[in-house]
């Protein structure tokens, strides 16, 4: 045979371990003489080496000049060898190109060798279409050199003899167990100043290479066919192809394929995860067992997969069946179908199935197997609307079913309206979700959804057409002037009869507007704490106010107290008794609405200084007076001169008090007691008690009208005033805590009194 005229096919393939056909221009460095190599230590105590040129330039060079293999012993059983002993261990082997006689002899043994020979020496290496089914698909490759390069490497991967003929395989029979060797493979001949990148393999002979068995092997039956599938991706690093073995009725296994089954690249250039193989069966009655094994580029077959047994399944009868018409009769719903009379002997009979929906579960009607000669059936208990299918069963037991056909009874009665309708906002974008309970009517085809801006407004349809589901989503403008959207639903049956409206469903729009800002008016140090005065947020959906505080220069705010909405209060105060002296604090009021949106006031600073202050109230007492329905506070205070009034603080906890009321001194005073000297007797100095202005009065008595236990008094007047406050706004059985702060006309305050509690019952 003349090697220059040997015909070949151009192939696109992926062979896993070594030989992949790169796309044109995509080699790592096409100008470098580069070799890739790998090796294993086998159970027969030999080292197997395989290598491949990395680009067409290297392939062409080594085709003509061969290869040079160098082995260096790195370690023996005693450990690493010193440098001089490693140098002394060097062994070289030269691989020269095979002559034409050797190639022709090898081609007579293995036809794959001819593919490599054609790639090496053929004059014309163009694409030719294969005459029959082969192991790969013919494909036109534009670059002839790359075509030769790829085809020769493919041949080496699937044929050990083809690899040996190309000097791409070597078996080292002199390797010793327990040693480590380094193998270096470089292009042969005089490379001169060519850039070289030799192939290198460092290999220990301590461990024998064990090839894996194919995994995820499955077999499915067809009509005189077995469909075999396995995970080739899991073992692609070990095998270049696979062999299929078959046993018939427990007989010996025989290899089905004459060439290895390989994975071909898809349009995306990637190998598939699984390989698929169609094995023809002689009949559908015998049992066929299958197993597969991988073929290694090192020239051996790996272990077998598990063995799977299948039996062919006859294909269903190739005949069409369809419902030709449906007709309502006095007996029920009559179903007619079409089927070739000539095939009656090929089937066992017919069956009729029914479902309430097109894609629902179809139940077999209790008719048994209808005779093969029949072409109609009457449903004696039809639904108002139902879908029917007709199926035939052939003599092999295969069932073939028609497409669904709708059949409806005559109907002018509308269905019942849907039941309860509920809905909610989904996120903050304005997407609303509505869902409802189906009505009791059994012939409902779907629903229409309507919306309005008012519960009794004009409802417009928002579903584009009737919908089958009981859930509907709709996008609205969150900036709508109305806080709610109102929905109602109608049911529609298969005769287009429409129900009345469902009950109204109100869906709150998502709240994206934070509450109005509270106004912090002042933060004033007082005896025993810092008084915070602010105007609460006036938003209608406000839920609570947070008193926030932090020390100056600190980053994080701390919540001192959480107050309720303070709805209707124009102003409010909070007395912070936990502020430490000599520290400068920053205060801020935070309002929070029902949607969790928040807004903050501006920040005020205050410093609690050491020292005294105004006198606190005394004898504070609180109790529930059941007969009057009030919680009564009573207290006493010395000298009400300059007092503008008393601030009443109330809260659910002793440390969560806020100003809930304010009374002037005159509004709260219930009586008094004079604690000073006798105004009608001169003191030891001969002076009398002072007048209302604090001036000494002569004459042995006070000026007319200047002595009154309920008067405001004067700076040097000594008397005790008794005060009272009535709280009428409270809940029974809930404890309330109270304290009082005295406010003066000059803007000063007394410390907060002790805290007392009372509970209504």
- DSSP notation for 99-121: PHHHHHHHHHH-THHHHHHHHHH
Instruction: Output the pTM of the full model.
Output: 0.47
Question: How far is residue 511's CA from residue 479's CA, in Å, rounded to a whole number?
Answer: 9
d(CA 12, CA 263): 10
Residue among 115, 63, 95 at smallest CA distance from 171 = 95
d(CA 672, CA 722): 6
**Distance (Å, rounded) from C-alpha 333 to C-alpha 372?**
20
User: Can you state the percent helix, strand and coil of the chain, rounding each to 5?
Assistant: 10, 40, 50
Cα Dmax for the chain: 158
Q: What is the pLDDT of residue 27?
A: 57
The whole-angstrom separation of Cα 454 and Cα 506 is 9
Instruction: Please state which architecture CATH assigns to domain 618-675+718-759.
Output: Sandwich (2.60)
Which CATH architecture is the domain 215-311 placed in?
Sandwich (2.60)
Q: Beginning with the edge strand found earlier in the chain, give each strand of the sheet holding 444-452 in spatial order.
A: 460-461, 444-452, 484-493, 505-508
CATH 2.60.40.10 domain position(s) in the chain: 3-204, 215-311, 322-408, 421-508, 519-607, 618-675+718-759
Q: Which residues contact 557 (CB under 8 A, 6 or more apart)?
A: 548, 549, 550, 588
pLDDT at position 173:
94
52 close to 185: Cβ distance less than 8 angstroms: no
User: What length does the chain have?
Assistant: 761
Query: Would you identify the CATH topology of the domain 3-204?
Result: Immunoglobulin-like (2.60.40)
d(CA 30, CA 161): 27
Chunk the chain into consecutive blocks of 10 residues (it has 761) and report each block's average pLDDT, rounded to whole numbers. Answer: 42 38 52 93 93 93 94 94 92 92 91 89 61 44 76 89 94 94 94 91 92 95 94 91 94 90 79 90 95 93 95 92 94 95 95 94 91 95 92 93 92 86 89 90 88 93 91 88 89 87 92 87 83 90 92 91 86 89 87 89 80 76 94 88 88 89 80 56 43 39 39 52 90 93 80 92 87
Contact 120, 4 (CB under 8 A): no
Distance (Å, rounded) from C-alpha 737 to C-alpha 719? 28
Fold designation for 322-408: Immunoglobulin-like (2.60.40)
d(CA 111, CA 104): 10
Question: Which tokens belong to 475?
Answer: 């996008």
> How would DSSP label each residue in 598-624?
EEE---EEEEB-SS--SPPPEEEEEEE
Evaluate whether 604 touches 520 at the Cβ level (below 8 Å). Answer: yes
Q: Which two tokens stand for residue 65?
A: 């000049």
Q: What is the CATH number of domain 421-508?
A: 2.60.40.10
- Strand positions, DSSP E, 652-702: 658-663, 669-674
pLDDT at 613: 59
Q: What is the pLDDT of residue 671?
A: 67
pLDDT at res. 67: 96
Q: Which CATH architecture has domain 519-607?
A: Sandwich (2.60)
Residues 114-138, buried b or exposed e (16+ Cβ, 10 A)?
bbbbbbbbbeebeeeeeeeeebbee
Specify the pLDDT at position 445.
Answer: 87
């Amino acid at each position: 045979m003349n090697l220059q005229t040997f015909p070949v096919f151009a192939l696109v393939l992926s062979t896993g371990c070594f030989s992949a056909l790169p796309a044109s221009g995509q080699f790592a460095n096409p100008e470098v003489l580069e070799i890739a190599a790998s090796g294993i230590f086998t159970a027969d105590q030999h080292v197997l080496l395989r290598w491949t040129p990395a680009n067409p330039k290297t392939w062409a060079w080594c085709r003509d000049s061969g290869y040079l293999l160098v082995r260096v012993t790195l370690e023996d059983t005693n450990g690493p060898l010193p440098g001089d002993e490693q140098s002394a261990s060097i062994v070289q082997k030269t691989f020269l190109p095979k002559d034409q006689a050797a190639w022709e002899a090898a081609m007579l043994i293995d036809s794959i060798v001819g593919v490599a020979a054609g790639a090496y020496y053929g004059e014309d290496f163009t694409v030719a279409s294969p005459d029959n089914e082969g192991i790969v698909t013919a494909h036109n490759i534009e670059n002839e050199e790359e075509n030769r390069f790829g085809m020769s490497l493919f041949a080496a991967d699937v044929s050990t003899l083809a690899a040996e003929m190309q000097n791409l395989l070597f078996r080292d029979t002199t390797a010793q167990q327990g040693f480590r060797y380094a193998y270096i493979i470089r292009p042969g001949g005089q490379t001169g100043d060519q850039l070289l990148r030799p192939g290198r393999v460092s290999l220990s002979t301590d461990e024998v290479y064990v090839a894996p068995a194919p995994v995820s092997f499955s077999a499915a039956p067809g009509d005189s066919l077995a469909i075999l599938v396995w995970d080739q991706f899991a073992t692609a690093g070990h095998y270049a192809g696979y062999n299929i073995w078959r046993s018939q009725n427990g007989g010996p296994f025989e290899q089905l394929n004459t060439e290895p089954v390989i994975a071909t690249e898809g349009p995306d250039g990637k190998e598939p995860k699984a390989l698929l193989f169609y094995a023809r069966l002689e009949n559908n009655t015998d049992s066929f067992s299958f197993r597969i094994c991988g073929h290694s580029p090192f020239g051996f077959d790996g272990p077998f997969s598990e063995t799977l047994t299948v039996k062919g399944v006859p294909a269903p009868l190739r005949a069409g069946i369809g419902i030709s018409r449906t007709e309502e009769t006095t007996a029920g719903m009559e179903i007619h179908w079409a089927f070739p009379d000539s095939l009656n002997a090929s089937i066992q009979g017919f069956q009729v199935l029914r479902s309430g929906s097109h894609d629902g579960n179809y139940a077999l009607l209790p008719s048994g197997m209808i005779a093969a000669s029949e072409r109609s059936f009457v449903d004696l208990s039809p639904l108002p609307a139902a879908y029917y299918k007709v199926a035939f069963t052939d003599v092999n037991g295969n069932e073939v079913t028609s497409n669904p056909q709708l059949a409806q009874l005559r109907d002018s009665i509308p269905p019942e309206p849907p039941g309860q309708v509920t809905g909610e906002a989904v996120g903050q974008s304005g997407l609303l979700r509505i869902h409802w309970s189906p009505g009791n009517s059994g012939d409902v085809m779907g629903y229409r959804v309507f919306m309005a801006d008012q519960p009794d407004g004009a409802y417009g349809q928002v579903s584009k057409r009737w919908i089958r589901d009981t859930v509907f989503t709709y996008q609205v403008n969150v900036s709508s002037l109305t806080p709610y959207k109102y929905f109602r639903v109608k049911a529609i049956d298969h005769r287009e009869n429409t129900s009345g409206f469902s009950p109204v469903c109100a869906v709150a729009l998502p709240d994206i507007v934070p509450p109005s800002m509270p106004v912090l008016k002042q933060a004033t140090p007082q005896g025993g704490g810092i008084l915070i005065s602010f105007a609460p947020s006036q938003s209608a959906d406000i839920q609570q106010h947070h008193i926030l505080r932090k020390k100056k220069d600190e980053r994080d705010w701390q919540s001192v107290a959480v107050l309720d909405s303070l709805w209707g209060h124009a102003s409010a105060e909070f007395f912070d008794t936990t502020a430490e002296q000599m520290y400068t604090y920053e205060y801020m009021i935070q309002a929070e609405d029902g949607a969790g949106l928040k807004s903050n006031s501006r920040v005020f600073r205050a410093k609690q200084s050491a020292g005294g202050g105004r006198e606190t109230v005394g004898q504070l007492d609180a109790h529930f007076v059941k007969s009057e329905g009030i919680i009564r506070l009573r207290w006493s205070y010395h000298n009400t001169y300059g007092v503008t009034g008393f601030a009443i603080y109330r809260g659910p906890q002793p440390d969560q008090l806020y100003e809930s009321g304010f009374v002037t001194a005159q509004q709260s005073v219930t009586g008094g007691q004079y604690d000073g000297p006798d105004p009608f007797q001169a003191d030891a100095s001969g002076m009398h008690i002072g007048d209302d202005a604090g001036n000494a009065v002569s004459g042995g008595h006070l000026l007319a009208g200047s002595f009154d236990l309920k008067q405001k008094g004067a700076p040097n007047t000594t008397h005790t005033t008794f005060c009272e406050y009535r709280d009428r706004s409270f809940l029974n059985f809930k404890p309330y805590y109270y304290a009082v702060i005295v406010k003066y006309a000059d803007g000063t305050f007394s410390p907060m009194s002790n805290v007392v509690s009372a509970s209504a019952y």
